[in-house]
Amino acid sequence: MAVILGGWGRLLLIGLLSLVTSCGFQLRGDIDSRVGLVALDVSATHTYGQLATEMTRTLAQQGITVNPKEGADYRLHLLGERASRRAISTTNQVTVAEYLLQLTVDFELLNSAGDSVLPVTSLMVERVYSFDRGSFVGSSEEEAVLSREMQIDVIQQILRRVDAALNDVKTAAVNRVSVRQ
């Protein structure tokens, strides 16, 4: 069933869209690297783990070559990840009502000489979900979806930190050149 907006409805819709876009709102998505990173070496403690695989896929989607044969100017090292789940509330029958999921990732960014550009940093994301004993499969699927969302969220946070660190490096290099002149 299609809804046809009258004159005032269209005007209201256009006004709302203008208001939302003029305030700078945009949907969350992939980061837009401002430093023009074209290649990045990625290493991980768990080379074939889900986080390393997702990181590689995300970088490739953004047009960044991962682990080029000739090497890259920077290396992102995923040092480790820790996932946990704990009960945070119970029902009056003393069964679990809600769980807290946590994902912590440690990483560092090094330049091609092995010097630290971004020292070892830990990022943590959390999600809470309701556990339904009557729908164990549904609750398990919800936990799996939340775990995947948490990985994507932490990868985006890592990439924002890398982008900020590389912007700082670029700004410092420009400042050194301008001071010399």
User: Where is pLDDT greater, at 143 or 174?
Assistant: 143
Average pLDDT (52-67) is 93
Average pLDDT (78-83) is 95
Name the pTM for this structure.
Answer: 0.74
Q: How confident is the model at residue 180 (pLDDT cuts 50, 70, 90)?
A: low
d(CA 76, CA 107): 7
Is residue 133 within a helix (H) or strand (E), and if so which, with residue range? none
Domain ranges in the chain are: 36-176
d(CA 57, CA 152): 11
154 three-state secondary structure: helix
Q: How confident is the model at residue 27 (pLDDT cuts 50, 70, 90)?
A: very low
**In what side-by-side order are the strands of the sheet with 74-90?**
65-66, 39-44, 74-90, 96-111, 116-130
Highest mean pLDDT among 8-22, 42-56, 134-148: 42-56
d(CA 33, CA 107): 19
User: Where is pLDDT greater, at 13 or 57?
Assistant: 57
Nearest in space to 131 (alpha carbons), one of 88, 78, 71:
88
Residue 33 clears pLDDT 70, i.e. is over it: no
Residues with Cβ within 8 Å of residue 93, at least 6 apart in sequence: none
CATH number for the segment(s) 36-176: 3.30.160.150
**What are 115-126's pLDDT values in tens digits?**
999 999 999 999
Quote the pLDDT of residue 77: 96
Exposed (0-12), middle (13-18) or buried (19+): which is 3, by Cβ within 10 Å?
A: exposed
